[in-house]
Structure 1
Amino acid sequence: MRQLVMICLLVFSCLSVRSQEWITFGGEEGANKNQKHIVLISGDEEYRSEESMPMLAKILAKRHGYKCTVLFAIDPETGNINPEVNNNIPGLDLLENADLMIINTRWRRLPDDQMKYIDQYLRSGKPVLGLRTSNHGFNNKEGNYIHYSSEYKKENPEHPWYRGFGGLLFGDHYVRHHGKHKHESTRGVFPETAVNHAILKGIDDGEIWGPTDVYGCRVAHLPITPLVMGQVLERKGTFNINDRFFGMRSTDLPLAGPKNNPMLPVAWLKAYQHPDNGKEGIAFHTSMGSSTDLENQGLRRLVVNTVYFLLDRRIPKKGTNVAYVGEYYTTAYGFLGKEFWDNRKLKPSHLY
């Protein structure tokens, strides 16, 4: 009997420690048994997904009734959140029972025993919502999932895994900074073909703005449904490294010249299908999505409206409620280095 008690305590202890590697909002005891579960995967060194993903999860859980679990890049030696550790995101097995995956990773090199859950999810054909660097979310160099790398078959656009995860899901991956990085921000403009799309409900044309620049992409080859085009803006103020917007503002004017002629898409829908007998699914991608971008109400509404759309839920006429739940503090995007994260000692539990 004593041995059984010890085993139970050990199992409980392991589960408790493991659950501290991610955070969950919603899904309390007594919740609707049909409640949808969203898994949000952070893990990028530059655009502060460890800030934005908990904020979105709180909104989706509190305002819209979803169960939301946020995963992080975790240093296995300390248990701290550390985006510079690119080979460990605990909790990906939770995708087995997820209804939607929201992902904002950058060049992760995850082991096969973690990658397999992402692969299984894609085979199911369930929806995917990708932010900013998710179009180059993996950089696998070994193992069974090298084809997820953003460099995979880069010379063969006809290959189903061309450009890896980003190519399969979103049609392409990051090509270049089209707008000048940290100097030319982005305003979202609706193409005529999308002005009546349900995902844009409650968002004004031109309302979306963010201090990240427009990403370059191979427009002519993208089998997509464009929803928002990225107008490159010229900063009229002074560059300020200490400002989280680097001196850029939503009131900046469009940049003259070829960068806006034509404008490139910054948000779109695309059908996808895992080449290995996977079911057909649908993916949404926006190349915006830094934590500071998501201070913009229009962009937050674009994301939450898309969650409704991907989960077959009617979007309200005036769009979804995207008011913050609690405070939302953001940091200017940029690379902070492993030492910064080692010193910060940020745990997932600190982000509730």
Structure 2
Amino acid sequence: MITKNQFNSNGFKVVTLLIFTLIWSSSLALAQGDKLLLQFKGQNGAGQGKNIVLISGDDEYRSEEGLPMMAKILSEYHGFNTTVLFPINPENNQVVPNYKTNIPGMEHLEKADLVIILLRFRELPDEQMKYFDAYLKSGKPLIALRTSTHAFNYAKDNKSPYAKYHWQSTVPGWEKGFGKKILGETWVAHHGHHAVEGTRALLDGIQVSAKNPLLNGVTDIWAASDVYTINSLGKDTEVLIHGASTSGMNAEASINWKKSLMPVVWTKSYQIEGGKKGKVLASTLGASVDLLSEDLRRLIVNASYWGLDMEGDIPEKAKVDIIGDYKPSMFGFDNFRLGMKVTDFE
């Protein structure tokens, strides 16, 4: 026989369990319904009908902040349809830049006309990586920023067919991995004093004299991120901009002439086995705080036209006004904004 007190106690437990279950189920449903990528429809502009995919995935330079901002500019002012992908923790669907094994939405590369990346030390599963590999085999254009020279970092025991992308790969034909083979250089070292010296951009005189449309409207770039060491880039490379280290972390800082110049923006061709020939613009600039530079944003817009063989459509001075509120975080490890969802970057 169940007493009244036992009934009340058991009933309370059942009701509590039901409430907990409902809350958990609702939370799970919401998590499952979280947006995992951003998409902006192209407005008026020469880029209408062209699709650009921007892939953020670095744990230091806040690409999760900078690339959505650039996507808005490309869509709103230049007509490109843009899709932004993020590193996502699948347990809570939060944007976690140091979660290195998951970037949902890579299948969107199948319909991409251009891809822009800022990646660092990723080890993506084959199911995601296959889309990136197929994109490169298609010979379509690529824009690669900052740490993309060392975009991939596979464990030694990883048997993936894409382990050759590893930044220090020893696979024949893929020595030093994706960075060296596709971009022209892998990670070497900080040439500038990291977080102490910035980068003053010096346009290549030959490119300026030739009126290279990639440099239309580009005259003044200062970036907070420092100059990277470049050992060699290959014969098929054209350097557009050289970087000088500045003796301080602001645009007014003087150039440290004790340090040599290094390439910071260049173009080259690429081709992987079984694939078509493509072209890439690479830059060791591109941190979210670097993109406060109007002319750096303009260079990326120009490069988007160039990559899509639309050089004749590159404006004399492309519109690159920031849309909305953009307050980028300073670069650094583990200083990303906690608890962020993809919608927070809309």
Bin the TM-score by the shorter chain.
0.7 to 0.9
Instruction: Supply the AA of the counterpart residue of 2:62.
Output: R
Q: Which position in structure 1 is the counterpart of 2:212?
A: 197
- Are the equivalent residues in 2 in contact too, given 1:190–1:228 (CA < 8 A)? yes
Deviation, structure 1 residue 220: 6.6
Q: Is the 8 A contact 2:118 2:147 kept in 1?
A: yes
SS of 2:144's equivalent? strand
Aligned match for 2:342, one of 338, 341, 348: 348
Alignment of 1:221-236 (within 5 A): 221=234, 223-235=236-248
Match of 1:255 in 2: 256
- The amino acid of 1:323's aligned partner reads D
Q: Deviations over 1:51-94 (max 9, x none)?
A: 00100000000010111000000001010000111000000011
Distance 1:17 1:69, change over 3 A: farther
1:5 alignment counterpart = none
| Counterpart in the other structure of 1:184 | 197
Residue of structure 1 equivalent to 2:334: 336
**What pairs up with 1:6-45 in 2 under 5 angstroms?**
17=32, 20-26=35-41, 35-45=49-59
TM-score (ref. length: structure 2): 0.85
Query: Which residue number in structure 2 is paired with residue 152 of structure 1?
Result: 169
One of 304, 307, 317 as aligned partner of 1:307 = 304
Distance in structure 2 (CA, Å) of the matches to 1:308 and 1:27: 14
Unaligned runs of 5+ in 2: 1-27
Larger radius of gyration: 2
> Which SS does the other structure have where 2:133 is aligned?
helix
Q: Is the 8 A contact 1:171 1:222 kept in 2?
A: no
User: 2:135 maps to which residue?
Assistant: 121
The 2-side partners of 1:102 and 1:220 are apart by: 20
CA distance in 2, matches of 1:220, 1:172: 6
Confirm or deny: 8 A CA contact 1:171 1:223 kept in the other structure.
no
1:265 is matched with which residue? 263
Contact 1:37 1:99 in 2 (8 A): yes
CA distance in 2, matches of 1:116, 1:208: 36
Change (3 A) 1:114 1:18: farther
Counterparts of 2:331 and 2:112, CA distance in 1: 29
Question: In the alignment, which residue of structure 1 is the partner of 2:316?
Answer: 318
Alignment partner, residue 88 of structure 1: 102
Gaps of 5+ in 1: 1-12, 236-247
Deviation track 1:243-270 (CA, whole Å, cap 9, x = no partner) reads xxxxx1111111132x22xx11000001
RMSD of aligned residue pairs (Cα, Å): 2.3
- Structure 1 residues 33 and 272: CA distance shift in structure 2, 3 A: closer
Between the aligned partners of 1:305 and 1:269, the Cα distance in structure 2 is: 13
AA aligned to 1:346 is M
- 3-state SS of 2:200 partner: strand
Give a deviation string over 1:15-39, Cα, whole Å, max 9, x none.
x9577110101159xx999610100
The residue number in structure 2 matching 1:216 is 229
Assess if the C-alpha contact under 8 Å between 1:291 and 1:331 holds in 2.
yes
Match of 2:287 in 1: 290
More displaced 10-residue stretch of structure 1: 51-60 or 222-231:
222-231
Q: Residues 275-316 of structure 1, C-alpha deviation per residue, up to 9 Å, x if partnerless?
A: x21000000100000000000011111111110111122244
Q: TM-score, normalised by structure 1?
A: 0.84
Give the counterpart letter for 2:317 in structure 1: G
Aligned to 1:245: none
Task: Give 1:160 deviation, angstroms.
Answer: 2.9
Q: How does 1:106-145 map to 2 (within 5 A)?
A: 106-141=120-155, 142=158, 143-145=160-162
- % of aligned pairs identical? 39
